[in-house]
């Protein structure tokens, strides 16, 4: 079992809708969580980081962390075709190593 | 802005060749990472370094070695390239392992 799990998708949403991306993790000691966006042929770029339970908003993006249930989610409001990409969820392993670990990514398609 | 650069975007090598991939970051980050990314497998950590001359194995270190002689530079070495090492190689850096990573543009390596 991979430490960070994501549904590979594709998740298809119409333009203007809310896209909801989910991620679960197995290491209860994980402290930091990140969402990266990766366009085809490009490298990942950071969208959001979240460290404590609750919601964190940045523009059209909201990250949610629930440590008790061990899940992280990313909501994208007013989705645009330019949001079409693969979204990578990442966490840091516990036990003091804080080694980063990535999910395999969810492909998001926003259709006009 | 953090800038992470990689020595080549595309590289073609023959089986058995020694291959050097270089990565340079300009933000005085302590931590640097090497990943490979393959379809369906996501990002996998090969090696990371948390200080000059310090290195730690990641999840798939076999067949690779690294060198960090200066803080800004982290090199990945394929001692004897094999076709199974054909992949996209991504370098990243972070100020602290608990924080976000910044990725270079990637090197697509083909071993024939």
Element (H, E) at A108: strand A106-111
> Tens-of-pLDDT digits for all 112 residues of chain B?
769 999 999 999 999 999 999 999 999 999 999 999 999 888 999 999 999 989 999 999 999 999 999 999 999 999 999 999 999 999 999 998 888 999 999 999 999 9
Q: How far is A105 from chain B (nearest CA, A)?
A: 7
pLDDT digits (tens, 9 = 90+) for A12-28: 999 999 999 999 999 98
Handedness of CA B105, B2, A55, A59 (dihedral sign): negative
CB contact under 8 A, A49 and B100: yes
Q: What is the DSSP string of chain B?
A: ---EEES-SEEEE-TT--EEEEEEESS--SEEEEEEEETTTEEEEEEEEEETTEEEE-S--TTEEEEEEETTEEEEEESS--GGG-EEEEEEEESSTTS--EE---EEEEE-
DSSP-derived letter for residue A81 is G
Q: Are B102 and B92 in contact (CB under 8 A)?
A: yes
pLDDT, tens digit (0-9, with 9 covering 90-100), for B69-89? 999 999 999 999 999 999 999
Which residue is associated with the tokens 């991939």?
B21
Q: Is A58 on the interface with B (CB under 8 A)?
A: no
For residues A51 and A64, the answer to whether their CB atoms sit within 8 Å is no
For an interface test with A, give the residue of B99, B105, B107 to mutate (most A CBs within 10 A). Answer: B99
Q: In degrees, to the nearest 5, what angle opens at C-alpha B108 toward C-alphas A83 and B8?
A: 105
Closest Cβ opposite residue B42 in set A43, A46, A104 = A104
Which residue has 């953090």 as its token pair? B2
Q: Could you give the CA distance from residue A110 to residue A106 in angstroms, rounded to a whole number?
A: 13
Chain B, window 42-81: residues with a beta carbon less than 8 angstroms from a chain A beta carbon: 42-43, 45, 48, 56, 58
Half-sphere exposure of residue A108: CA atoms within 13 angstroms, side-chain side? 29
Q: Which residues of A touch B102 (CB under 8 A)?
A: 46
User: Residues with Cβ < 8 Å from A44, sequence gap 6 or more?
Assistant: A36, A37, A38, A88, B43, B90, B103
Is A34 part of the contact surface with chain B (CB cutoff 8 Å)? yes
Q: Residue A103 pLDDT > 80, yes or no?
A: yes
User: Residue A1 — very low, low, confident or very high, per pLDDT cuts 50/70/90?
Assistant: low
Are B43 and A44 inside 8 Å of each other by CB?
yes
Rg of chain A on CA atoms, in Å: 13
């Amino acid at each position: 079992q991979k430490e960070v799990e994501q549904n590979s998708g594709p998740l298809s949403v119409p333009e203007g809708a809310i896209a909801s991306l989910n991620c679960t993790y197995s290491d209860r000691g994980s402290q930091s969580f990140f969402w990266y966006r990766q366009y085809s042929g490009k490298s990942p770029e950071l969208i959001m980081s979240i460290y404590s339970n609750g919601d964190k908003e940045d523009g059209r993006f909201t990250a949610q962390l629930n440590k008790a249930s061990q899940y992280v989610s990313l909501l994208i409001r007013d989705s645009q075709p330019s949001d079409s990409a693969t979204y990578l969820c990442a966490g840091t392993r516990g036990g003091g190593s804080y080694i980063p670990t990535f999910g395999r990514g969810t492909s998001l398609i926003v259709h006009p | 802005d953090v800038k992470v650069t990689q020595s080549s975007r595309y590289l073609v090598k023959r089986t058995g060749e020694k291959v050097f991939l270089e990565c340079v970051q300009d933000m005085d980050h302590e931590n640097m990472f090497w990943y490979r990314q393959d379809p369906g497998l996501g990002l996998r950590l090969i090696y990371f370094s948390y200080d000059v001359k310090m290195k730690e194995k990641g999840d798939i270190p076999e067949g690779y070695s690294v060198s960090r002689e200066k803080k800004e530079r982290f090199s990945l070495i394929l001692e004897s390239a094999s076709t199974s090492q054909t992949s996209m190689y991504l370098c990243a850096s972070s100020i602290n392992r608990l924080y976000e990573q910044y990725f270079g543009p990637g090197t697509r390596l083909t071993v024939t």
